[in-house]
Amino acid sequence: MRTSRIARRTAAIKFSSIGPFGPFLWNKMEHCVVEESRRVAQLLDMCNSSGLRPWTLRGKTLLPVVQGGMGVGVSAGGLAGSVARQGGLGTISSVDLRRLHPDLMAQTAHLDKEPDARDTIESANLVALDREIRRARTLSTGQGVIAVNVMKALSQYAGYVRQSLVSGADALVVGAGLPLDLPELARDFPNTALIPILSDARGVQLLVRKWEKRGRLPDAVVIEHPRLAGGHLGASNVGDLADPRFDFERVIPAVLEFFKTAGIEGKIPLIAAGGISCQADIARLQALGAAAVQLGTAFAVTQECDAALAFKQVLAQATPQDIVEFVSVSGLPARAVRTPWLNKYLRIEPKLKAAAHTKQKCNMSFDCLAHCGLRDGDASIGQFCIDQQLGHAMDGDVQKGLFFRGAGALPFGEQIRSVAELMEFLIAAKVPADLHAQAQKVAA
Ligand SMILES: Cc1cc2nc3c(=O)[nH]c(=O)nc-3n(C[C@H](O)[C@H](O)[C@H](O)COP(=O)(O)O)c2cc1C
Ligand code: SF4
């Protein structure tokens, strides 16, 4: 990690010394880095003063706020870089990022039955991932941490992991399946942090035991609550989502107790995810033993989120009655807003299941999932193309999109605000001045 930072800095020096504007650009960059590190120091001070604890990942001190990976194209380099710039951990979701790059879409969107369609699309996605990691790195001005989220359920899982490592991600965050093989895949990159996402103490125990045999411990573990989080959920079926065994109050102490008996106490920070919306939530979870918290939906509705404005508005304007759980085409339960497409899908799901059959080819020609209910004709799970529906949502198509969302309330209600404002609110309960004035007016 250190070597690649030095290499990038050297490249920046070389670049800035070319041409008459070289020294000017270099001074501007230096000024920007100084400003941003001052801002991060200020946020860390605010964090300490408000009784929250910063946490450390691979020797880097961070705000205790993690932005969770959100596909397709919801958390790319723009969002992840903006979060890292504030001194947090920002996560790029690796899946189908070519959608954010018109040149890569021009090369691949028309592909259908060509024998090399899958390889061409996969290569375009790896190019897009590399670009997004670089974009995040530039935006971060060297602050915070840039992670990449890869779902184990993807057929390109190993390819995305390798590309993230080669492109210099600081951390890999893997969920939607047990990433038992991650230590092997990352063997040549010992400086990249490895962070699995799990939802109960048994899963953590199993994974840590298996990884220990491979000579590696997780650098942190995300504990995601299936009753609260957005997107795919870590339970075996919808009926299990509210099982008390997933409650943070149970899972966090049980995992910490396991770490103690396993002789690894204090070595693996826990990150609690799902339904977190204010400083008091973070304080409560840190009191339970979590080092940091991860938020998804609240970051998806920030100005810097990489999806269309209409996507953010759907999430921000949803009421608790609009949010629904169902079984995804990956076989995992999922949580989303009941928008027109999802409403219709849920109505006709029994008919689609009755007609399920193995397809000659994948709907999008690149087999995003290793096991797909639609392509593989598996009537026990979802019957839609998740890549297509999530792509519509990212583009802001309210009629056709699938809009993943967590179950909790949002910090700023229906407002789309900046990452900086969200960070200050979470860390120090600081309400943006205009919102504060509005609230006072209403109260008067
Ligand atoms: C729109 C959306 C897309 C998501 N996509 C992914 C994903 O691709 N991979 C993943 O591990 N988690 C995904 N998540 C889960 C988030 O990373 C995060 O853990 C979760 O949303 C936290 O709950 P919250 O939304 O209540 O804050 C997604 C969540 C949302 C809202
Ligand atoms: S049909 Fe759609 S969801 Fe299924 S593997 Fe293909 S792209 Fe993915």
C-beta separation of 89 from 66 below 8 A: yes
- Locate the ligand 1 atom nearest the alpha carbon of residue 197 and give its number: 11
Q: For residues 286 and 272, what is the distance between their CA atoms, to the nearest angstrom?
A: 9
Q: In the structure, what pLDDT confidence band is assigned to residue 29 with cuts at 50, 70 and 90? A: low
As given in the structure block, the two tokens for residue 162 are: 């390798």
> Could you give the CA distance from residue 414 to residue 371 in angstroms, rounded to a whole number?
36
With a cut of 70, say whether residue 5 has pLDDT above it: no
The three-class DSSP label of residue 193 is: strand
Please write the tens of the pLDDT for every residue from 361-371: 899 999 999 99
User: Is pLDDT above 50 for 17?
Assistant: no
Q: How confident is the model at residue 15 (pLDDT cuts 50, 70, 90)?
A: very low
Q: Is the pLDDT score of 220 beyond 80?
A: yes
With 0-12 CB in 10 A as exposed, 13-18 as middle and 19+ as buried, what is 266?
A: exposed
Ligand 2 center to 232 CA (angstroms): 15
Query: What is the predicted pLDDT for the residue at 59?
Result: 93
Q: Which of 345, 369, 392 to mutate to test the pocket of ligand 2 (most atoms within 8 A of CB)?
A: 369
Q: Quote the pLDDT of residue 212.
A: 95
Give the lowest-confidence range in 3-12, 107-116, 134-143, 328-337: 3-12
Topology (CATH level 3) of domain 2-312+408-437: TIM Barrel (3.20.20)
Summarised one tens digit per residue, pLDDT across range 238-264 is 999 999 999 999 999 999 999 999 999
CA 333 to mean position of chain CA atoms: 17
How far, in Å, is the centroid of ligand 2 from the Cα of 377? 11
Residue 12: its pLDDT value, please? 42
CA 200 to chain centre: 19
Phi first, then psi: give them for residue 252, nearest 5 degrees. Answer: -65, -50
Residue with tokens 């709907």: 363
Q: Rounded CA gap, 352 and 345, in Å? A: 9
Distance in Å, CA 273 to ligand 1 centroid: 9
pLDDT of 148 above 50: yes
Q: Which range has the top average pLDDT, 19-23, 31-35, 188-192? A: 188-192
Please tell me the distance from the alpha carbon of residue 154 to that of residue 140, in angstroms, as a whole number.
28
Confidence of residue 22 (pLDDT cuts 50, 70, 90): low
Protein residue with its CA nearest to atom 2 in ligand 2: 385
pLDDT at 396: 97
| pLDDT score recorded for residue 113 | 85
Secondary structure (3-state) at 185: helix
For ligand 2, mutation pick of 385, 388, 392 (most atoms within 8 Å of CB): 385
Percent pLDDT > 90 in the chain is 86
Mean pLDDT of the chain: 93
pLDDT over 70 (residue 11): no
Q: Omega of the bond prior to 72 within 30 degrees of 0, cis?
A: yes
Longest CA–CA separation in the chain, Å? 68
Q: Is the CB of 161 under 6 A from ligand 1?
A: no
Q: Is the minimum distance from the CB of 234 to ligand 1 under 6 angstroms?
A: no
Q: What share of the chain is helix, strand, coil (3-state, %, to 5)?
A: 45, 15, 40
Query: Does the structure show a pLDDT above 80 at 23?
Result: no
Q: pLDDT confidence of 20, banded at 50, 70, 90?
A: low
Atom of ligand 1 nearest to the CA of 307: 1
Query: How many angstroms separate the CA atoms of 149 and 57, rounded?
Result: 16
Q: 222 Cβ partners below 8 Å, 6+ apart?
A: 66, 68, 173, 175, 195, 196, 197, 198, 271, 272, 273, 294
Give the CA distances from residue 260 to residues 38, 75, 205, 292, 368, in Å, rounded to whole numbers and listed in that order: 37, 35, 12, 19, 39
Q: Residue 7 — pLDDT band, cuts 50, 70, 90?
A: very low
Query: How sure is the predictor about 435, in pLDDT bands with cuts at 50, 70 and 90?
Result: confident
Residue 444: per-residue pLDDT:
72
Cα–Cα distance, 54 to 65 (Å, whole number): 9
Question: What is the reported pLDDT for 443?
Answer: 76
Structure tokens belonging to residue 6: 């030095």
How far, in Å, from the CA of 219 to the mean position of ligand 1? 20
Amino acid at 254: A
Span 339-393, pLDDT tens digits: 999 999 999 999 999 999 999 889 999 999 999 999 999 999 999 999 999 999 9
Q: Residue ranges per domain, the chain? A: 2-312+408-437, 320-395
pTM: 0.93
Query: Across residues 103-120, what is the average pLDDT?
Result: 93
Q: Where are the alpha helices (DSSP H) in 297-381?
A: 297-300, 309-317, 340-354
What are 287-312's pLDDT values in tens digits? 999 999 999 999 999 999 999 999 99
Does residue 296 have its Cβ closer than 6 Å to ligand 1?
yes
CA of 415 to the centre of ligand 2 (A): 33
DSSP 76-140: SHHHHHHHHHTTSEEEEE-TTGGGG-HHHHHHHTT--S-TTHHHHHHHHHHHHHHHHHHHHHHHH
HSE toward the beta carbon, residue 303, CA cutoff 13 A: 8
Instruction: From residue 317, give the alpha-carbon distance in Å to each of 43, 327, 367, 405.
Output: 29, 23, 33, 11
- Ligand 1 atom closest to Cα of 403? 1
What pLDDT score does 27 carry? 73
Between CA 180 and CA 366 the distance in angstroms is 24
